[in-house]
Structure 1
């Protein structure tokens, strides 16, 4: 079998405007393809194969050999089939496959490597960032799409295949872009997994995590890892230490403003037990609080909460950069793939697993100090509806005028337990939106409901949406870390890890009585028992209040000159009232405030950080 690296790959000066790792390509109607990328894209993350009639490009981290990829590629009967075959390997990566007359492209399974595309007369262009395509289309911001992202988090998952720019479409992580002749289609990615019992899944998860860590550690000169004291980061740090020939430097972030003493104590115990871990403690001070140094935050191609906490990210990753780390492990994604959405309670009722439902509802009620009948009522309400019905109900809520008074009733922290037992929800930012924005988002929700495909399991589909939502957040973190000179590895987002976890029914992945039972099943015989004994979790909520108070002057000025207000998306006065509530220490919608601030910074970034000549530069220098 002959393998050739003959793909046309070109570099260009786009990294300053769009980030350091932009992949961009064009698929011609004839099936001919071309690809080009930013000049500092590491060649190790871009692999090209030419096998029989198929040409393929893998962008990201595919943890298997070219020979294995080529073996699967050679037997494919269509571009879509070829893409699906070579998307099954360990790692996290996107794929372009093409031959004469047809092509297929998709991002990774977790939604961290995303694809945007723009159909043209003779070709379809795609990119892993929306900005290059948006600039070629005149950078026409879709304010209704921006409002939708603010008001409903499901729009960050590629819902409706829309984007923040007119003329550019976003490919949902659950879909594949297929070009065949002059026909363009979006094919559904098969997401259903062959169900397995938790024991078999534990074996698969152990193998998947060991492969994910071993392959990344192999050949690395310096390895670093987060060691927060939590189960996910601790697992990866210990696995990295067992695989690497040198000591692994671990980083524990200790925030003086947070209630995270348990985190630090657990991290200390784990580090003391394992001599191959070289622990560094980073003490976060006032300069690392959320909402700090927003003017200096790196420009991301989409609004992201990473902008709000970037000062913390910079402090936390500094030891990895100073160490010259080849790879830095983080536990991001573990909470999602090892757990399940609370809507599994409604699924239990639908499946008539009443004993399981009552037992878990009672346990959750005790844990969150809630009346058990309210938990059961929420589960019953979820069981009677589906995603389609919920989107329509949210649209109806938005069509009702928002509260106009300064004092909006605030949900108590404990009521979030019931609120989480739903297929979708609105952000608190909906209370601050203009009537026009609310109506526009309602129309988008109704359109999404009309297009929602039938699913075998509502709770499984909900799990995928949660994964993609967190994948979108991690995408921004990975980009910011790259700007800081740190290469992130997040094994819990790898294909084979997701497959192992999502092959288990949601109700069997989660337990009120034991933290992450699937991980324990996988690694209880490999890792120290005290790792699985922890029942507490650090609370960083107070940091947000300290950050708001310390940066109140700048935040007020940001909202008084609100770009979202100029666009007719929010009522700045309503947001300022909420900001004042937070500054004064009252219960505030901090997550929604963070989203608004991130969007304000991003809109300014479009004006300030993107070079004025970027569009002409792309046209003149980037095209093959």
Structure 2
């Protein structure tokens, strides 16, 4: 965890949670209390990062990208009788955010299905505690790193299924995005399921309007507040759709694209067409000499990596930082990207054919023949792939056996639950053995796919890969005051897209047919009809040449090599060799991401973000019942401090333990004193300089 970065932890409303709060105290600069007065949210976050509201004794906090206000949250909370009922109101709010509810002594915590907002949990003493960052919990409990898990990450820049939900910190687990975490007063927890993929039964004619509605709401959630927002305008279909939707809102739009070194790609042409259709937007383009090269900023003395987990976009890390700085200079508060479009509308062909075969065998055969034609592959391998029915567990065992096999062939289309896995040639025998052991051990257990439909399983797995990386990019942007948004990966958009039949969503004869049908009324046809995509291979090779010395320095001081996971000499040779295909570069990406993550994981913990001592977290018992009603006051003005309220408190109004009450100013503009439940006389306790009063730490933006 880098000093000063934002994070929050969630504690149960009971004595075990109070004990855990004492462990969190050295790092926490902000505290928000349960109605009982015990700490509920602790952490370090900027003003406005949380929207907090209350209704009676219940509390709700939302962190992320959403249009909700404290008032709308309070109104929804007033209709909620328990944390079990909190999901339907939240599901109606577009965007991507954490939801935390405290009601009836229990706590609900949830993130997003795609992993753009994640929830982690571990046990501190007798209490299960949640947080939005795995590394924070790992530092608190002294968790070590998982060598087997890191070895498996060498197979690709992202963790393969089903390990994409496993952290690399021992003892810290991730709550699946389609579940929510319930924290009980006694310190226990359960993880009920909250989201299920729909049955993919809608034709495109019925599903496209739903996709358009969900995507429009997702973009509106980021633009509704006005101001200035940024969008990608690479020339691709996905970024064009987001940009045109953003331009319909009240915010000023600034588009951004960087010049590529591949003279054969047609991104510039399509980006120019898109810019012509957005006359009200400002268009920013970094030319070739201004673009930060790929693989920049990865030297041994570079900025530390995100210690949550390896960053799959490692080669672009410096470009993400440049984009954030550029958008900050343009005054943008958020930047919308088209990431997620490929994952939903143009994934690698194959798994969907298994689904189509189950319902429409002839359609599956026709599509398979179209995919087979360019490679001129034989029919027998293709038919075997179509009729294959291995379970996810059996497939994991087969993947384990093939870890050191030759590179997989692109044809026939792979219809399995997971793409093939290969260890890089510089992985040591110990690393291969560790990865294989993890795969085989997992294969011996029950392995449930994300959906019984392989195309849905593939889409959710890919969305998860991209969502986690987008969340890490968001942290990079937040250092410059710019948040990154990926509207395609919002829960509501995922649900709308996955409700459409696989054969209508993915086709060998049309490029992203469902997205084109959904956006046809809003985006010009020449942009939607584009059927090409730039892979930035020239940029990658140029960046590798320019920064080879830095990468060799990283190799010579490799922590992966020191811990026996890679052969430093073989890795050095690979850095010096040419890379004719994208596959070898992808293997290099995975190793660089793991190397930088391990360096961050092994680094000493940073200085606390809250160097001052928080007030003593004594036994916080529930506040006493309200006093008996007294005679009405003789003056309509404010009561003196030693007078009781003129009438009984409204149970639905913010009370003394209410976050909103803690931020309601007196007529002179200063917040009123808030009694501490642990204090016998009701006077607020003293707070050290620089540390906010926990009862005044609420953000109600």
TM-score under structure 2 length normalisation = 0.76
Q: 1:209 aligns with which of 215, 228, 233?
A: 215
Higher relative contact order (CA 8 A, sep 6+): 2
Structure 2 distance, partners of 1:544, 1:486, is: 26
- Taking the aligned partners of 1:229 and 1:621, their CA distance within structure 2 comes to 54
Partners of 2:88 and 2:182 in 1: CA distance: 12
Cα displacement string for residues 270-329 of structure 1 (whole angstroms, at most 9, x for unaligned residues): 212332233222123497222222143453122113332122223444432211112222
Which range moves more in the overlay, 45-54 or 321-330?
Answer: 45-54
Higher helix share: 1
- Looking at structure 1, the residues matched to 614 and 421 of structure 2 have their Cα atoms a distance apart, in angstroms, of 42
Change (3 A) 1:618 1:423: farther
8 A Cα contact 1:249 1:279, kept in partner:
yes
Q: Do the aligned partners of 1:175 and 1:187 also contact (CA within 8 Å) in 2?
A: yes
Q: What residue in structure 1 maps to residue 331 of structure 2?
A: 324
Counting matched residue pairs gives: 590
CA distance in 1, matches of 2:543, 2:384: 34
Deviation at 1:135, TM superposition (A): 1.0
Q: Given the alignment of the two structures, is residue 380 of structure 1 paired with residue 403 of structure 2, yes or no?
A: no
1:114 aligns with 2:109: no
Structure 2 residues not aligned, in runs of 5+: 18-33, 618-693, 695-701
Moved more, 108-117 or 217-226: 217-226
CA offsets 1:172-196 (integer angstroms, 9 cap, x no match): 2233222345442232333221543
**Structure 1 length as normaliser, TM-score?**
0.85
Structure 1 equivalent of residue 635 of structure 2: none
**Partner SS state of residue 167, structure 2:** coil
Going from structure 1 to structure 2, the CA distance change for 1:421 and 1:549 (only over 3 Å counts) comes to farther
Question: Which of the two has higher C-alpha Rg?
Answer: 2
Q: Cα deviations across residues 395-437 of structure 1 (Å, max 9, x unaligned)?
A: 3335xxx48xxxxx656xxx33547543224544354333333
How big is the shift at 1:356?
1.3
Deviation at 1:121, TM superposition (A): 3.5
* Residue 21 (structure 1) aligned with residue 16 (structure 2): no
Aligned: 1:253 with 2:258: yes
The whole-number CA distance in structure 1 between the counterparts of 2:266 and 2:608 is: 48
* 2:305 pairs with 1:311: no
Distance 1:437 1:201 in 2: 45
CA spacing shift, 1:169–1:138, aligned 2, 3 Å: same
Question: What is the CA-CA distance between 1:158 and the residue it aligns to?
Answer: 6.9
| Residue 93 of structure 1 pairs with residue 97 of structure 2 | yes
Which SS does the other structure have where 1:48 is aligned?
strand
Supply the distance in 2 between the matched residues of 1:472 and 1:76 (Cα, whole angstroms).
Answer: 30
CA contact (8 A) 1:83 1:97 kept: no
**1:325/1:160 Cα in 2 relative to 1: closer, same or farther (>3 Å)?**
closer
* Partner SS, residue 272 of structure 2: helix
Partner Cα separation in structure 1 for residue 216 and residue 164 of structure 2: 37
Q: Deviations over 1:555-595 (max 9, x none)?
A: 22322322111222222333233223237x67761111011
User: Is 1:223 the equivalent of 2:223?
Assistant: no
Matching of residue 549 in structure 1 with residue 519 in structure 2: no
- 3-state SS of paired residue (1:271): helix
1:279 aligned partner? 283
Change (3 A) 1:65 1:331: same
SS in 2 for 1:214: helix
Structure 1, unpaired ranges of 5+ = 1-13, 404-408
Q: Report SS of the residue matched to 1:288.
A: coil
SS in structure 2 of the partner of residue 432 of structure 1: coil
Give the Cα separation in 2 of the matches to 1:320 and 1:459: 36
For the pair 1:196 / 2:202, whether they are aligned, the reply is: yes
Q: Is the counterpart of residue 168 in structure 1 residue 172 in structure 2?
A: yes
Matched residue of 1:592: which SS? helix
Aligned equivalents of 1:621 and 1:581: distance in 2?
59
RMSD in angstroms over aligned alpha carbons?
3.2
Q: CA deviation at 1:107?
A: 1.2
SS at match of 1:224: strand
Equivalent pair of 1:89/1:495 in contact (CA under 8 Å): no
CA deviation map 1:486-516 (0-9, x unaligned): 2222211222211211111333211222222
Distance of 2:612 and 2:512 partners within structure 1: 47
Secondary structure of the 1:242 match is coil
Match of 1:364 in 2: 371
Partner-residue secondary structure (3-state), 1:294: coil
Distance in structure 1 (CA, Å) of the matches to 2:207 and 2:615: 49
The secondary structure found in structure 2 opposite 1:290 is coil
Q: Which residue of 2 aligns with 1:8?
A: none
Moved more, 612-621 or 190-199: 612-621
Q: Is 2:382–2:412's contact at 8 Å kept on the other side of the alignment?
A: no
Q: 1:445 aligns with which of 421, 439, 446?
A: 439
Do the aligned residues in 1 keep the contact of 2:315 with 2:589 (CA within 8 Å)?
Answer: yes
Distance 1:160 1:222, change over 3 A: closer
